[in-house]
Amino acid sequence: MVNKVKTCVFISGKGSNLFSIIKNSRNYYFPIKINLVISNKKNADGLKIAKKYSIPFKFFSSINQDKFEKQSLIELKKKKIKFLCLAGFMKILSKNFIENFGHKIINIHPSLLPRYKGSNTHQRVLKNKDKYSGCTVHFVTPKLDSGKIILQKKVSVSKNDTKESLKKKILKAEHITYSKAIIATFKQFLFEKKIYFNFSVFNTIRTVYRIFIYGQTIHFSKGSFFSFQRIRGSH
């Protein structure tokens, strides 16, 4: 059985990235399982997605950010969460929260970082008549949109693009890129790779990789590993 990393997703809105991660995480060999969704917006559509897929969810208001972070940390510890994905989460987490959580946090940003940190990325891309934009998945540090880049996807900008059409194109790319970046994140923790010959009842030879992720061990066959690459978007 694949020992999936217990994961929480922070959202603020629609939750289309959450939806694509949920779908991909149902793949037996996907490295994470979503055990918790936290929203800082009471009416975030993403909460309905969590409910539909029977994932525990919480709403904590972030009007008082300190309170939001304290309440979230209690819930993360209670559920033994070891990985946090920010997906359309519109708040900057404090240094104190990042340190207290103590595990990896990743985020998706709708531009090719380091260009266009912060908000209104699509407007700024169009204003500068850039030929390309895209999305970036990166580790979260206290400095906004500045942590180490895990994966980027380039999207071409056409002359006819509006803010809305560009947003739509990039969002489609985000849905695929986020899951690929999650796989890439855990590949970075691979520090032991061994080949075992397993003479089972079927007398087949099976290649097994041993991966240590935060001290956990995952076993999966080579054939299945390649199925990792067929990541689905939400469409």
Among 7, 16, 24, 35, binds ligand GRF (CB under 6 A): 16
Q: Per rule CB under 6 A, is residue 233 in the interface with ligand GRF?
A: no
Q: Looking up tokens 């942590």, which residue turns up? A: 147
Nearest distance from residue 20's CB to ligand GRF, in Å? 8
Active site residue 109: yes
Residues 103-142 that bind ligand GRF (CB under 6 A): 108-110
Nearest distance from residue 143's CB to ligand GRF, in Å? 17
Nearest distance from residue 1's CB to ligand GRF, in Å? 29
For ligand GRF, which is the closer residue by CB, 213 or 231?
231
Q: Per rule CB under 6 A, is residue 56 in the interface with ligand GRF?
A: no
Among 5, 9, 15, 231, binds ligand GRF (CB under 6 A): 15
Residues 27-46 that bind ligand GRF (CB under 6 A): 46
Q: Per rule CB under 6 A, is residue 14 in the interface with ligand GRF?
A: yes
Among 34, 87, 166, 173, binds ligand GRF (CB under 6 A): 87
Give the sign of the dihedral formed by CA 24, CA 29, CA 32, CA 33: positive
Q: Name the one range near ligand GRF by CB under 6 A: 9-17, 52-60, 197-205, 217-225.
A: 9-17
Residue of minimal Cβ distance to ligand GRF: 88
Active-site position among 109, 122, 138, 175:
109
| Peptide bond before residue 114 is cis, with ω within 30 degrees of 0 | yes
In the complex, which residues of this chain contact ligand GRF (CB under 6 A)? 11, 13-18, 46, 87-88, 108-110, 171, 174
Which are the catalytic amino acids? 109
